[in-house]
Amino acid sequence: MMTTPFEAFSFAKRIPSTPSIGSTTVTKPDHIHLSFGFAAPHLFPIEELSQAAYEAVSLHGRTALQYSGSGGPRKILEWIQNRSLVHGIQAELPQILVTYGSTQGIDIAARILLDPGDHVWVESPSFFSALQAFRAAEAVITSFPIDEDGLRVDLVENALLEARRQNKPIPKFVYTMPTYHNPGGVTLTTERRARLAELAETYNFFIVEDDAYSELNFTGNKYPPLYTLLPGRVIYLNTFSKIIGPGLRLGWMIADRRVIDKARLLNLGGSIGVFTQEILAQLLDRLAFQEHVDQLSQHYHKQRDIMAEAIKSSFGDHVTFHLPEGGFYIWLRFGEAVNTSDFLREAAERGVSFVDGKSFFAKPEGYHYARLCFSYVSEEQILRGVNILADAYFAYEEQRLFGVTKQRHL
């Protein structure tokens, strides 16, 4: 039977084109994935999870496998409530919504706050999946730079003043990753947090606070979640992906009850995988959580140090970066004339992947940046991967500057 070619069909225009990010499609077995923002697989709590899964089936299977309306296991909500308190966030249970990872939380926030043509302000760089969600919501995206202290709130303030003066649109929300930014690695200072919260109050917009990494803290320094500063105007998002495992696809949203009630309306199929939630509930019951995150933080801290040293010795003064206080990433800044997309393939052929800078920006910019991730790979792979990457970069530089390929010498 002949089928009409897809070209003749018009899919919904709001679906954005999805360029492949970095060289994440490479699947050679010995490939070193400095591109993957994945958790370290050897630190998944496998033993506890298998016990938890057994008990979820044997003790709770008959309810957990049933349709559940909009409810999930209360235990998860209570766990989130208690853990949030450790970070100063007070929330009633109806203010907590379990989501299909925090990416779904971003998407829900966009869908309940935005009409097509509404304005969203983001950091540049920003998280690529968030940019995709905002494009799919047909929002107008405006970005503001970050520096060592996080989002340049002073520039946001100037833009708000200007918008008010010229009767231009105020954003419906600002999307930010204040703690251990992806990809920037930077953290918003307490002063800037306070100012951003004041601005949201004064100018009547929401803040979507994406807090995926704050449990992975290498310094002990603490920063107040934006939610604690302005609970009525912050949609707080977090995830089990970085602290348990991303394959669970479970995260959560905390917000004013009226916001959560709207968000619930979007969960058309009922709550997010109640059966998976039940496994997680059983796990959280038996996992010494603080010890677990301390172990993760220690591991990632060590990985960060190894990667930072490897970058310094392989790249010398060809790159600068901020040493992150937590999270998964080091964000390299090359000379302005460098385009990291131009040696992506060269690096992939030599056996290493990274994410080129442009993937993190709403506009065509950021070409001289690259994101490396230290969480997924082993110590040995970090050392080898950074070295290979430097070889690829120096080969590209020689070619770019002199039109020849020579050996690396710092």
Ligand X SMILES: Cc1ncc(COP(=O)(O)O)c(C=O)c1O
3-class SS letters over 67-106: CCCCCCCHHHHHHHHHHHHHCCCCCCHHHEEEECHHHHHH
Evaluated on CA atoms 11, 246, 206, 123, the torsion sign reads: negative
Which residue lies nearer to ligand X by CB, 122 or 153? 122
Identify the three-state secondary structure at position 345.
helix
- How many angstroms separate the CA atoms of 66 and 374, rounded? 40
- Residue 238's beta-bridge partner residues? 252
Give the nearest distance from C-beta 246 to ligand X in angstroms: 5
Which residue lies nearer to ligand X by CB, 73 or 178? 178
Footprint on this chain of ligand X (rule: CB under 6 A): 37, 101-103, 127, 177, 182, 210, 212, 239, 241, 246, 251
Which residue lies nearer to ligand X by CB, 315 or 369? 369
> For residue 6, how far is the Cα from the chain centroid?
33
Give the nearest distance from C-beta 214 to ligand X in angstroms: 11
Give the nearest distance from C-beta 291 to ligand X in angstroms: 22
Give the nearest distance from C-beta 322 to ligand X in angstroms: 16
CA atoms within 13 A on the CB side of 155: 14
Which residue lies nearer to ligand X by CB, 73 or 105? 105
Kindly state the tokens that stand for 184: 């920037």
Which residue lies nearer to ligand X by CB, 180 or 205? 180
Give the nearest distance from C-beta 377 to ligand X in angstroms: 15
Tell me if 34 sits within 8 A of 351, measured CB to CB.
Answer: no
CB burial of 242-274 (b: ≥16 within 10 Å; e: otherwise) equals: bbbbbebbbbbbbbbeebbeebeeebeeebbbb
Give the nearest distance from C-beta 143 to ligand X in angstroms: 15
Which residue lies nearer to ligand X by CB, 212 or 283? 212
Determine the residue with CB nearest ligand X: 101
Which residue lies nearer to ligand X by CB, 139 or 253? 253
Give the nearest distance from C-beta 209 to ligand X in angstroms: 10
- How many angstroms separate the CA atoms of 29 and 53, rounded? 30
- How many angstroms separate the CA atoms of 96 and 83, rounded? 12
Kindly state the tokens that stand for 283: 């796990």
- How many angstroms separate the CA atoms of 114 and 138, rounded? 8
The strand pair at 251-254 and 329-333 is best described as: unpaired
Give the nearest distance from C-beta 61 to ligand X in angstroms: 26
Residue 279's H or E segment, with its range, is helix 274-286
- How many angstroms separate the CA atoms of 80 and 93, rounded? 9
Which residue lies nearer to ligand X by CB, 39 or 287? 39
Give the nearest distance from C-beta 9 to ligand X in angstroms: 30
Which residue lies nearer to ligand X by CB, 355 or 392? 355
